[in-house]
Amino acid sequence: MPVRLLKDPAFERWARKAGVTDRMLRNAAEEIEKGLVDARLGGFLIKKRVGRPGEGKRSGYRTIVAYRQASRLVFLHGFAKSETDNVSKKEQQGLSRLGEVYLDYDEATIRRVVAAKQLIEVLR
């Protein structure tokens, strides 16, 4: 069974404004599944680069992702490298708590929150 890809609503709004498409997120998820991550932030949090539309990853965007191998991947936060190099410890702690909640959801809860648009599914 493929990993289920989801987005936090705040991440979805950011991605839409930044021009980060679901295709770009699927590509990032495939790389994560292959073990290609930019940084492990502790526990289930990772940082993954996503290129700007029409450009490469180096000057592009950074995403913070909650990831449970062979199960679920949730895009939590995104930012441009030009804005900041990284998230603060306080932000990281908050994202870790949020990611933990999302990763602990059972399938029935996932279906319910997706239907309520509290999480957005990245369709394959």
Task: Give residue-wise pLDDT tens across range 22-33.
Answer: 999 999 999 999
The pLDDT, as a whole number, for residue 51 is 85
The pLDDT, as a whole number, for residue 56 is 66
Q: Nearest 5°: phi and psi at 35? A: 90, 10
Computed from CA positions of residues 110, 71, 104, 16, in that sequence, does the dihedral angle turn out positive or negative?
Answer: negative
Predicted confidence band at 81 (pLDDT cuts at 50, 70, 90)?
confident
d(CA 70, CA 3): 5
The pLDDT, as a whole number, for residue 82 is 76
Average pLDDT over residues 4-27: 95
The pLDDT, as a whole number, for residue 83 is 80
pTM above 0.95? Answer: no
Average pLDDT over residues 99-111: 96
Average pLDDT over residues 94-100: 96
Average pLDDT over residues 54-78: 88
